[in-house]
Structure 1
């Protein structure tokens, strides 16, 4: 099973609410060319790291655009800067700082990191057992501020979940990849998903 298939069903269970018109508008406004993006909340180095992680989590395939194609990193940068309070922003930054420390960054900086470096980090923390995931999710940094592994897991888990949410909310994915019907007709209960939507999750 590839990574995209493993993530396919997560959008309905990651704890994010349905996007409001304001959030959708914010997402559609993120059309900056990748090479011209200047982050608002993140530093440039954090932005580079975030983009590389998100690209591995939701990569482009032959039939489906990837998260970078629909500007997910740019949206998260704008969303966090506009909607997170100071405490949540601080916690997000702490998670990114832990991620940066865990990467093998040389004196040349983050631009010298290879795809394998990011992939190894994701594998180490997101391919652990369900039991260990539960331990990390229950971690409280106020009680145990030195547990770097738990902090990194929570940060990567948050990046993954928020990326999937933003990806599914984007216009391109919502209308062209997921099952989309802006004017639904009659309800047909108790029929297989393949019969209802060709196996696709609903966009709305």
Structure 2
């Protein structure tokens, strides 16, 4: 696998080695030994999640204020713009974001560590996203930040209002949100 460090060094782009021929392809989507050797992280993933969404659905920006989750995200159908926002108050990259196009074709993955809010926008007609987490979902600690917060200023590159859940419509701005010290 190839690891690319983003402008926020804790967020990584993972590109697996793909073996393909006229029959199709094969790749290891996760190998704990390779993961630890290449990233230096000893991550114990405990939960896999899978979502399906239609075009222009925006999910996020989500995180857990306690029991924070690191996430290894990939698209297995379609195309998404995946975003991580640093919400660690003492971090030199606090309030900054990183985005990456993840597709079923490019098979890239984005590692989003604890202390980051995560969201994605569906670019294709439909998309299925799977992600591993290193902590369990805890609804009582679930939080969100507005996707269009001007202080974060994410370039979603969209001209229409995305399809949002009620939770995401009502999410606070970063300045009013629970964040990590």
Scaled by the length of structure 2, what TM-score is found?
0.22
Higher relative contact order (CA 8 A, sep 6+): 2
Scaled by the length of structure 1, what TM-score is found?
0.21
Higher percent of residues as helix: 1
Larger radius of gyration: 1
